[in-house]
Amino acid sequence: MPAKLIVHLPDRPASVHVLHEDRAVRLGRSTSAELLVQHSSVSRLHVELAYADAGAWRVVDLDSKNGLRVEGHRVPEALLRQACWFAIGDVFCEFEPIDATQADALAQRDHQRRNSAVTWTQRVETSRSLEDLLQSILAGIVELADCRRGYVLLGGGLQDLEVRALHAIDPKELDGEAFDGSRSVVARCFAERQPLFLSARTDQAWLRQQASVVAHGLRSIVCLPLVHDGVLLGAVYADSDDHARLFTELDAELLHAFADRASAVLAASDIEAELKAMDRLLDTPPAAP
Protein backbone atom coordinates (compact mmCIF):
# COMPACT_ATOMS: atom_id res chain seq x y z
CA MET A 1 0.00 0.00 0.00
CA PRO A 2 1.44 3.42 -0.93
CA ALA A 3 1.55 6.32 1.51
CA LYS A 4 1.52 10.10 1.39
CA LEU A 5 4.19 12.00 3.31
CA ILE A 6 4.03 15.77 3.88
CA VAL A 7 7.18 17.41 5.23
CA HIS A 8 6.41 20.72 6.97
CA LEU A 9 9.17 23.34 7.06
CA PRO A 10 8.60 26.71 8.83
CA ASP A 11 8.23 29.70 6.46
CA ARG A 12 8.50 27.41 3.46
CA PRO A 13 6.00 25.49 1.36
CA ALA A 14 5.43 21.91 2.45
CA SER A 15 6.82 19.11 0.31
CA VAL A 16 4.37 16.34 -0.60
CA HIS A 17 5.57 12.88 -1.59
CA VAL A 18 3.91 9.62 -2.56
CA LEU A 19 5.82 6.64 -1.16
CA HIS A 20 5.70 3.30 -2.98
CA GLU A 21 6.05 -0.14 -1.44
CA ASP A 22 8.96 -1.19 -3.67
CA ARG A 23 11.32 1.60 -2.62
CA ALA A 24 12.69 2.60 0.77
CA VAL A 25 13.46 6.30 1.23
CA ARG A 26 15.85 8.12 3.53
CA LEU A 27 15.18 11.64 4.80
CA GLY A 28 18.03 14.00 5.57
CA ARG A 29 20.16 17.01 4.60
CA SER A 30 22.58 15.00 2.46
CA THR A 31 22.16 14.97 -1.31
CA SER A 32 22.37 11.18 -1.06
CA ALA A 33 19.04 11.14 0.80
CA GLU A 34 16.09 10.19 -1.38
CA LEU A 35 14.02 12.96 0.28
CA LEU A 36 16.07 16.09 0.92
CA VAL A 37 15.08 18.01 4.08
CA GLN A 38 17.11 21.20 4.40
CA HIS A 39 16.90 22.17 8.05
CA SER A 40 19.64 22.69 10.63
CA SER A 41 18.03 20.29 13.12
CA VAL A 42 18.01 17.44 10.59
CA SER A 43 21.00 15.08 10.24
CA ARG A 44 22.58 14.26 6.90
CA LEU A 45 20.77 10.91 6.92
CA HIS A 46 18.14 11.13 9.64
CA VAL A 47 15.53 8.38 9.17
CA GLU A 48 14.54 5.68 6.71
CA LEU A 49 10.97 4.82 5.70
CA ALA A 50 10.27 1.41 4.20
CA TYR A 51 7.19 -0.70 3.59
CA ALA A 52 6.82 -3.46 6.19
CA ASP A 53 3.73 -5.59 5.55
CA ALA A 54 -0.06 -5.61 5.75
CA GLY A 55 -0.30 -1.94 4.82
CA ALA A 56 2.18 -0.77 7.48
CA TRP A 57 5.36 1.26 7.04
CA ARG A 58 8.40 1.27 9.31
CA VAL A 59 10.33 4.43 10.17
CA VAL A 60 13.83 3.91 11.61
CA ASP A 61 16.19 6.45 13.18
CA LEU A 62 19.58 6.32 11.41
CA ASP A 63 21.60 7.33 14.50
CA SER A 64 20.60 10.95 14.01
CA LYS A 65 21.73 13.72 16.35
CA ASN A 66 18.26 15.02 17.28
CA GLY A 67 16.34 11.78 17.06
CA LEU A 68 12.94 10.57 15.89
CA ARG A 69 9.70 11.38 17.68
CA VAL A 70 6.44 9.61 16.83
CA GLU A 71 3.27 11.18 18.24
CA GLY A 72 5.48 13.14 20.67
CA HIS A 73 7.55 10.20 21.96
CA ARG A 74 11.23 9.70 21.12
CA VAL A 75 11.75 6.21 19.70
CA PRO A 76 14.47 4.36 17.75
CA GLU A 77 11.87 3.09 15.28
CA ALA A 78 8.13 2.70 14.87
CA LEU A 79 5.56 0.83 12.80
CA LEU A 80 3.15 3.23 11.09
CA ARG A 81 -0.21 1.57 10.42
CA GLN A 82 -2.45 4.63 10.25
CA ALA A 83 -2.30 8.38 9.72
CA CYS A 84 0.05 10.00 12.23
CA TRP A 85 2.69 12.66 12.80
CA PHE A 86 6.38 12.15 13.44
CA ALA A 87 9.25 14.59 13.83
CA ILE A 88 12.85 14.48 12.67
CA GLY A 89 14.69 17.09 14.69
CA ASP A 90 12.43 20.15 14.61
CA VAL A 91 10.75 19.23 11.33
CA PHE A 92 7.28 17.70 11.49
CA CYS A 93 6.15 15.09 9.00
CA GLU A 94 2.57 14.02 8.30
CA PHE A 95 2.17 10.38 7.29
CA GLU A 96 -0.96 8.86 5.76
CA PRO A 97 -1.48 5.43 4.13
CA ILE A 98 -3.33 5.74 0.81
CA ASP A 99 -4.42 3.35 -1.91
CA ALA A 100 -3.47 3.30 -5.59
CA THR A 101 -6.61 5.21 -6.58
CA GLN A 102 -5.77 8.05 -4.18
CA ALA A 103 -2.18 8.13 -5.45
CA ASP A 104 -3.41 8.43 -9.04
CA ALA A 105 -5.82 11.21 -8.01
CA LEU A 106 -2.95 13.20 -6.47
CA ALA A 107 -0.95 12.91 -9.69
CA GLN A 108 -3.97 13.90 -11.79
CA ARG A 109 -4.63 16.97 -9.65
CA ASP A 110 -1.02 18.09 -10.03
CA HIS A 111 -1.35 17.70 -13.81
CA GLN A 112 -4.56 19.75 -13.86
CA ARG A 113 -3.00 22.52 -11.79
CA ARG A 114 -0.04 22.76 -14.19
CA ASN A 115 -2.46 23.06 -17.09
CA SER A 116 -4.37 25.77 -15.23
CA ALA A 117 -1.14 27.72 -14.71
CA VAL A 118 -0.44 27.58 -18.45
CA THR A 119 -3.96 28.85 -19.21
CA TRP A 120 -3.64 31.79 -16.81
CA THR A 121 -0.20 32.67 -18.19
CA GLN A 122 -1.63 32.80 -21.71
CA ARG A 123 -4.46 35.01 -20.48
CA VAL A 124 -1.98 37.44 -18.92
CA GLU A 125 0.10 37.55 -22.10
CA THR A 126 -2.92 38.45 -24.23
CA SER A 127 -4.35 41.17 -21.95
CA ARG A 128 -5.27 44.26 -23.96
CA SER A 129 -5.01 46.91 -21.27
CA LEU A 130 -3.29 47.47 -17.95
CA GLU A 131 -6.60 47.09 -16.13
CA ASP A 132 -7.25 43.73 -17.80
CA LEU A 133 -3.66 42.67 -17.13
CA LEU A 134 -3.86 43.44 -13.41
CA GLN A 135 -7.22 41.68 -13.06
CA SER A 136 -5.84 38.62 -14.88
CA ILE A 137 -2.73 38.54 -12.69
CA LEU A 138 -4.83 38.78 -9.53
CA ALA A 139 -7.48 36.26 -10.61
CA GLY A 140 -4.76 33.83 -11.70
CA ILE A 141 -2.94 33.98 -8.39
CA VAL A 142 -6.14 33.72 -6.32
CA GLU A 143 -7.17 30.62 -8.29
CA LEU A 144 -3.74 28.96 -8.44
CA ALA A 145 -3.21 29.59 -4.72
CA ASP A 146 -6.75 28.33 -4.00
CA CYS A 147 -7.44 31.48 -1.96
CA ARG A 148 -10.62 33.46 -1.34
CA ARG A 149 -9.63 37.09 -1.88
CA GLY A 150 -6.68 39.28 -2.82
CA TYR A 151 -5.33 42.51 -4.22
CA VAL A 152 -2.55 43.90 -6.43
CA LEU A 153 -0.24 46.68 -5.30
CA LEU A 154 1.94 48.69 -7.68
CA GLY A 155 4.95 50.76 -6.65
CA GLY A 156 8.68 50.42 -6.15
CA GLY A 157 8.68 50.93 -2.37
CA LEU A 158 6.43 50.51 0.64
CA GLN A 159 5.65 54.23 0.75
CA ASP A 160 4.74 54.30 -2.95
CA LEU A 161 2.39 51.33 -3.05
CA GLU A 162 -1.12 51.81 -4.39
CA VAL A 163 -3.89 49.24 -4.66
CA ARG A 164 -4.72 48.77 -8.34
CA ALA A 165 -6.88 45.63 -8.41
CA LEU A 166 -9.15 43.88 -5.91
CA HIS A 167 -10.79 40.46 -5.71
CA ALA A 168 -13.65 39.84 -3.23
CA ILE A 169 -12.58 42.82 -1.09
CA ASP A 170 -14.42 46.07 -0.41
CA PRO A 171 -11.97 48.96 -1.02
CA LYS A 172 -13.09 50.55 2.27
CA GLU A 173 -11.76 47.54 4.19
CA LEU A 174 -8.16 48.16 3.16
CA ASP A 175 -7.73 51.26 5.32
CA GLY A 176 -9.04 49.67 8.50
CA GLU A 177 -7.49 47.54 11.23
CA ALA A 178 -8.77 44.45 9.46
CA PHE A 179 -5.85 44.64 7.05
CA ASP A 180 -3.04 45.47 9.47
CA GLY A 181 -1.87 41.87 9.22
CA SER A 182 -1.85 41.84 5.44
CA ARG A 183 0.19 45.05 5.42
CA SER A 184 2.74 43.34 7.67
CA VAL A 185 2.91 40.46 5.21
CA VAL A 186 3.46 42.82 2.27
CA ALA A 187 6.18 44.68 4.20
CA ARG A 188 7.95 41.41 4.93
CA CYS A 189 7.62 40.31 1.29
CA PHE A 190 9.10 43.62 0.08
CA ALA A 191 11.96 43.47 2.57
CA GLU A 192 12.91 39.92 1.57
CA ARG A 193 12.01 40.30 -2.13
CA GLN A 194 10.90 36.68 -2.04
CA PRO A 195 7.50 34.95 -2.30
CA LEU A 196 5.98 34.44 1.13
CA PHE A 197 3.81 31.41 1.90
CA LEU A 198 2.22 31.21 5.35
CA SER A 199 -0.03 28.49 6.71
CA ALA A 200 -1.58 28.12 10.14
CA ARG A 201 -0.32 24.53 10.20
CA THR A 202 3.35 25.53 9.87
CA ASP A 203 3.67 29.23 10.71
CA GLN A 204 1.47 29.65 13.79
CA ALA A 205 4.04 31.65 15.77
CA TRP A 206 4.36 34.46 13.21
CA LEU A 207 0.69 34.52 12.26
CA ARG A 208 -0.40 34.82 15.89
CA GLN A 209 1.59 38.06 16.17
CA GLN A 210 -0.70 39.60 13.54
CA ALA A 211 -3.87 40.53 15.47
CA SER A 212 -6.02 41.12 12.38
CA VAL A 213 -5.01 37.76 10.93
CA VAL A 214 -6.22 35.99 14.06
CA ALA A 215 -9.36 38.12 14.42
CA HIS A 216 -10.52 37.39 10.88
CA GLY A 217 -9.74 33.69 10.98
CA LEU A 218 -7.17 33.77 8.18
CA ARG A 219 -5.40 30.44 7.87
CA SER A 220 -3.28 30.76 4.74
CA ILE A 221 -1.58 33.77 3.16
CA VAL A 222 0.55 34.18 0.06
CA CYS A 223 2.36 37.33 -1.04
CA LEU A 224 4.34 37.44 -4.28
CA PRO A 225 6.66 40.30 -5.26
CA LEU A 226 6.42 41.49 -8.86
CA VAL A 227 10.05 41.90 -9.90
CA HIS A 228 11.59 42.29 -13.36
CA ASP A 229 15.32 42.68 -14.05
CA GLY A 230 15.87 43.51 -10.40
CA VAL A 231 13.26 46.27 -10.39
CA LEU A 232 10.42 45.94 -7.88
CA LEU A 233 7.12 46.74 -9.60
CA GLY A 234 4.69 45.80 -6.82
CA ALA A 235 3.21 42.76 -5.13
CA VAL A 236 0.17 40.48 -5.13
CA TYR A 237 -1.47 39.42 -1.85
CA ALA A 238 -4.03 36.63 -1.40
CA ASP A 239 -5.46 34.84 1.63
CA SER A 240 -7.89 32.13 2.69
CA ASP A 241 -9.81 31.21 5.83
CA ASP A 242 -9.68 27.50 4.94
CA HIS A 243 -7.90 25.83 7.87
CA ALA A 244 -6.99 22.84 5.70
CA ARG A 245 -5.16 24.91 3.06
CA LEU A 246 -1.47 24.12 2.95
CA PHE A 247 0.96 25.62 0.45
CA THR A 248 3.18 23.02 -1.17
CA GLU A 249 6.35 23.09 -3.25
CA LEU A 250 4.19 22.67 -6.36
CA ASP A 251 2.19 25.76 -5.33
CA ALA A 252 5.45 27.68 -4.94
CA GLU A 253 6.76 26.48 -8.30
CA LEU A 254 3.59 27.40 -10.22
CA LEU A 255 2.96 30.71 -8.46
CA HIS A 256 6.59 31.84 -8.68
CA ALA A 257 6.73 31.07 -12.40
CA PHE A 258 3.39 32.78 -13.00
CA ALA A 259 4.45 35.89 -11.05
CA ASP A 260 7.75 36.05 -12.95
CA ARG A 261 5.98 35.96 -16.32
CA ALA A 262 3.34 38.42 -15.13
CA SER A 263 6.10 40.79 -14.00
CA ALA A 264 7.75 40.64 -17.43
CA VAL A 265 4.46 41.44 -19.18
CA LEU A 266 3.76 44.22 -16.68
CA ALA A 267 7.21 45.74 -17.22
CA ALA A 268 6.70 45.69 -20.99
CA SER A 269 3.52 47.75 -20.70
CA ASP A 270 3.66 51.52 -20.36
CA ILE A 271 2.67 51.41 -16.70
CA GLU A 272 3.00 55.08 -15.88
CA ALA A 273 0.99 56.28 -18.88
CA GLU A 274 -1.76 53.71 -18.35
CA LEU A 275 -2.03 54.42 -14.63
CA LYS A 276 -2.48 58.11 -15.34
CA ALA A 277 -5.13 57.31 -17.93
CA MET A 278 -6.96 55.06 -15.44
CA ASP A 279 -6.83 57.82 -12.82
CA ARG A 280 -8.21 60.36 -15.28
CA LEU A 281 -11.12 58.06 -16.05
CA LEU A 282 -11.87 57.65 -12.35
CA ASP A 283 -11.74 61.41 -11.80
CA THR A 284 -13.93 62.28 -14.79
CA PRO A 285 -17.48 63.18 -13.67
CA PRO A 286 -20.29 61.30 -15.41
CA ALA A 287 -21.79 62.97 -18.46
CA ALA A 288 -25.04 64.84 -17.99
CA PRO A 289 -28.10 62.90 -19.15
| pLDDT 10s digits, 131-186 | 999 999 999 999 999 999 999 999 988 888 999 999 999 887 777 665 656 888 89
What single-letter DSSP state applies at residue 230?
T
pLDDT exceeds cutoff 70 at 257: yes
pLDDT confidence of residue 155: 93
- Number of residues that make up the chain: 289
CB 95 within 8 A of CB 84: yes
Tell me how far apart the alpha carbons of residues 209 and 202 are, in angstroms, rounded to a whole number: 14
Is this model's pTM higher than 0.75 or not? yes
- pLDDT category at 203 given cuts 50, 70, 90 is low
pLDDT confidence of residue 211: 44
Q: Is the dihedral of CA 265, 266, 270, 274 positive or negative?
A: positive
Return contacts of 24-31, CB within 8 angstroms, 24+ apart. 24/48, 24/49, 24/50, 24/51, 25/49, 25/50, 26/62, 27/88, 27/93, 28/62, 28/64
Q: Which amino acid is at 19?
A: L
Pairing between β-strand 231-240 and β-strand 84-88 as defined by DSSP bridges: unpaired
pLDDT exceeds cutoff 90 at 101: yes
- pLDDT category at 206 given cuts 50, 70, 90 is very low
Residue 222's Cα: distance from chain center in Å?
Answer: 6
Tell me how far apart the alpha carbons of residues 132 and 89 are, in angstroms, rounded to a whole number: 47
% the chain with pLDDT above 90: 69
pLDDT exceeds cutoff 50 at 215: no
| pLDDT 10s digits, 43-91 | 999 999 999 988 899 999 999 999 999 999 999 999 999 999 999 999 9
Q: At what angle do helices 249-268 and 130-144 cross, to 10 degrees?
A: 180
Beta bridge partners of 77: 60
% the chain with pLDDT above 70: 84
